[in-house]
Amino acid sequence: MSWLISYEAPATPPPALDWERLPFGRVFSQHIALAYFQNGKWDEARIQPFQDFRLHPAIHGLHYGQALFEGMKAYQRPDGTRFVFRFKDHARRLNLSATRLSMPPVPLDLFEALLRELLLKETHLFPPTLRQAIYIRPFYFATDPYVGVRVSESYLFAIFLSPVGPYYTQPVAAYVETEYSRAAPGGTGHIKMAGNYAAALISNPKAQAAQCQVTLWLDACEKRWVEEFSTMNVFFVWKDGRITTPALTRGTILAGITRDTILALLRAAGHPTEERDISIHEVIEGITSGHLTEVFGTGTAATIIPIIALHYQGKRYELPSTHPIAEKARTAYYELLSGNLNLNPDWIWKI
């Protein structure tokens, strides 16, 4: 289908960007892309100046939680090629989240048309190097002005952009949460629902008190099985060369796009990888015995970041200060972005 997208220009020219001192998630595009679902169909696609929403106080998304989001990145190579990394995979995951929350899927061609037009209107945001990016935030929520527990009949899908540098500027320590739970089997842990992240924030003060920057979540039933960090998926590197990441089979872990990319890069480089359940006790024993040599996280915002320590049940377990596999994975990831490595041509969506 061909979508008609209306356009309204902003009143002022774009501001200059200091790419070397750019905070993550604090600078935004001049435009925002919008599409409405109402009367059983998608319409009113438009790009307009970035501005506050005017919302009815009773909208469904605020009261009953039909709200989700995605996060992806656009880059510019030294030769001027501009692209979004793994756009179609992010779009599929957004619609997986929508299905779980009983929301109508966003048509791929509508998503493509809106995002392409938005990026073309914001070409000044494309960064000078691959170490910076345009962070793309699609989000989607229910808008029925009705106080009652039922599926909404109207929705707003929107996309804005944010030029970003690194999410983490150095390796981080992780607090292992043993009191609260992030997700349970049959729930919403495998999707990017807004409420998942709100429920996880309660662990932040405890992590900060333990001089940790992220939380490592365990399963809800036994508090035994490692799931994921608060901001990314987790990988473990063993002395015998194996690289392990928790399996997705319980439906409580986000199927990270960067996680999948790193698994593909590690396998292409000949590293033995495994996706399986891994207990926190195996992890702690591995650290104390020296059999666990690295832990690192992966995510669209974080990319690849080493973990320097785990804080578990009142004790801090230090990890080795070198991170050769994480560094190798990061190097391969940027080789992939630069076009020097090609695992899957569908991963590069050119603008």
Residue 19 phi/psi, 5-degree rounding, is: -65, -25
- What pLDDT, on a 0 to 100 scale, did the predictor assign at position 2? 83
Q: Is residue 306 scored above 90 in pLDDT? A: yes
Tokens of 122: 């914001």
pTM above 0.85, yes or no: yes
Q: What is the pLDDT of residue 121?
A: 97
Q: Answer yes or no: are the C-beta atoms of 134 and 83 closer than 8 Å.
A: no
Mean pLDDT of 14-26: 90
Measured between alpha carbons, how far is 347 from 332 in angstroms, rounded to an integer?
15
Question: Which pLDDT score is estimated for 237?
Answer: 98
Distances from the Cα of 138 to the Cαs of 89, 156, 162, in angstroms? 13, 11, 11
Confirm if 158 and 70 have CB atoms less than 8 A apart: no
Confidence of residue 29 (pLDDT cuts 50, 70, 90): very high
Position 81 scores a pLDDT of 97
**pLDDT at residue number 20:** 87
Residue ranges of the domains in the chain?
6-165, 172-338
Q: 20 or 273: whose pLDDT is higher?
A: 273
Tell me the average pLDDT across 119-140.
96
pLDDT tens, 59-109? 999 999 999 999 999 999 999 999 999 999 999 999 999 999 999 999 999
Question: Which residue type is seen at 336?
Answer: L
Mean pLDDT, rounded, of the chain: 96
Nearest Cα neighbor of 298 from 342, 266, 341, 343 is 266
Confidence band, pLDDT 50/70/90 cuts, at residue 23? confident
Quote the pLDDT of residue 119: 98
Q: Which two tokens stand for residue 86?
A: 């793994």
Confidence tier at 44 by pLDDT (50, 70, 90): confident
First and final C-alpha spacing in the chain = 19
Averaged pLDDT, 32-47: 96
Confidence at residue 238, expressed as pLDDT on a 0 to 100 scale: 98
Nearest to 236 by CA among 158, 161, 323: 323
pLDDT at 288: 98
CA distance 146 to 310: 45
Give the dihedral sign, CA 145/151/157/158. positive
Q: Is the pLDDT of residue 1 over 80?
A: no
Mean pLDDT of 41-55: 95
Distances 244 to 26, 45, 267 between C-alpha atoms, Å:
34, 43, 12
CATH of 6-165, one of 3.40.50.1460, 3.30.470.10, 3.40.1550.10, 3.30.160.340: 3.30.470.10
What is the four-CA torsion angle of 101, 261, 204, 195, rounded to 10 degrees?
A: -10
Mean pLDDT of 251-260: 97
| pLDDT above 80: residue 194 | yes
Residues 201-253 have pLDDT tens digits of: 999 999 999 999 999 999 999 999 999 999 999 999 999 999 999 999 999 99
pLDDT computed for residue 120 by the predictor: 98
Helix-, strand-, coil-residue percentages of the chain, each rounded to 5: 25, 30, 40
Q: How far apart are CA 178 and CA 150, in angstroms?
A: 34
> What's the pLDDT tens digit per position in 133-175?
999 999 999 999 999 999 999 999 999 999 999 999 999 999 9
Out of 3.20.20.70, 3.10.180.10, 3.40.50.1400, 3.20.10.10, which CATH number does the structure's domain 172-338 have? Answer: 3.20.10.10
332, 269 contact by CB (below 8 A): yes
